Structure 1
């Protein structure tokens, strides 16, 4: 097992950062009139995933860490919803959102696995 010295060593945090980068790349193609709408919403939610993983890791208690991981899960669902909506309203093609949704699904599984593991064990 890999040694974890920082939240940056967590694969789930690294994947969350990757998803945020993908969201930023995709939203650069969104219409300018969406700058303060879906573009802003999906970007903030995507950043929130990694940020909450990091913030939770830095907390001194496991219950607090778990709470932040659950908030990250909520932000992930928000990203998925924004991506699905952007395709449904024609802001971008579904083919552009599908890879991000696949990545989001995998990230969701990773987050759930981390939460279950933390709930079952007393140590990080």
Structure 2
């Protein structure tokens, strides 16, 4: 299993990914990148002169809302895994559009009934 230490994400294969921050995030389109901005839920124990650790929760999220947020992110990661299994890591079809729907590789022309790829070869 992957491990994150000192801003280095080490995969079980031994490959290392150096990060600027300390987290990896996934977007609705299933693209992966660094996403550390502790503006939804974070700890305040890193502030100088702070004598007591606490939690910063500016949106006052309830436990149920935090669980929903976690489930949302877990589902995105599960969708990415399913798409990699289905399409392979080299296919852009592993990503979804911002709507969350799988993009189509070709679109048909209403006049000719041919896809853009078919039109290019005609």
Normalised by the length of structure 2, the TM-score is 0.31
- If each structure's strand is expressed as a fraction of its own residues, which one has the higher value? 2
TM-score by length of 1: 0.30
Larger radius of gyration: 2
Q: Which structure has the higher relative contact order (CA within 8 Å, separation 6+)?
A: 1
Q: Hey, which of these two has a bigger chunk of helix by percent?
A: 1
